Amino acid sequence: HETPVLAKSLRLVHVDDDIVALDKPCSLPVHPCGRYRHNTVVFILAKEYQLRNLRTIHRLDRLTSGLLLFGRTPKKARQMEQQIRNRQVQKDNLRRK
């Protein structure tokens, strides 16, 4: 059995031919790791939304919630990763105490 995660469903913010943006809840890992195989963002996107072969553009830890971006093609993922590296896109983190 896998470690339980929050029962909150994934909320897709934007989907087009190039990217997928979603509001990732905390407690849900992005990729399979450790005890998590099915309770992951990529597994749920593939099973419930038929969104497969997505490329992660940036990471959010399992216990972090926030906007998560995927490229739908290797080319678009590389372009967006480059924009983040070149600081053409700003990433903000809000921490609660």
Distance CA 78, CA 76 (A): 5
Specify whether 23 is catalytic.
no
Cβ(28)–Cβ(5) below 8 Å: yes
Catalytic one of 17, 23, 61, 92: 61
Query: Which whole-number Å values give the CA distances from 86 to 9, 36, 91, in the listed order?
Result: 33, 33, 12
Residues 65, 60, 80: CA angle, nearest 5 degrees:
120
Cite the active site residues: 61
